[in-house]
Amino acid sequence: MKISKKKGFGLLEVVIAAGIISIFAGGVVLLSVASLRSSVINKHRTQAAALAQEAIEGIRVIRDSAWIDQDSTTEWDTNIPLTTPSGSFNRVYYDKSDGKWKIDSFVDSPNCASGSGVENESWFKLDKVCFNRKLTIENGPNEISNTDGTTNLTSRKVKVIVTWSDYGKGRDVTVETLLTNWRAY
């Protein structure tokens, strides 16, 4: 009768097992990093969408305020200027001094070093990320023909673009809406 001696793992088997465990652990780490990165990008995308929507809502307030200002000469789009020439962008902000939303032109600064998210700026610094909000307003496609042969524009196309950078890659969110003079219909 033969008695066989069982020996422990050989050196080769230990190296192979360590390699398999390392590959598995590395995959878990890479998956975790990718998941965290995706989560951060989605958080910033949500913040950018909120900044864009805030601008759209501000312009709607400006339009609606024209209807209730008790001045019969104010048109629905009196305070909604068309986009200014190249190099200047329209911006929308809430002016705390008089409690009104406003749109005006400005020359964009090249970075957000001064941006703090306060009114009268196009840069917003949230969680150490710089968001830049730009606004364009164009005549919309809707118009009404008057009995005297003239036409009234009854819509404005509003486009808000919020840009920022995540992990060295530029990103943006664009929100567009057609603002109409629904009282003209």
What is the per-residue pLDDT across 137-164, written as a single tens digit (0 to 9) for each? 888 887 666 666 655 677 888 999 999 9
Q: Where are the domains of the chain?
A: 30-184
Question: What is the structure's pLDDT at 118?
Answer: 44
pTM assigned to the model:
0.74
- Cα angle 58, 99, 91 (rounded to 5 degrees) comes to 40
Pseudo-torsion of CA 104, 106, 108, 109, nearest 10°?
A: -120
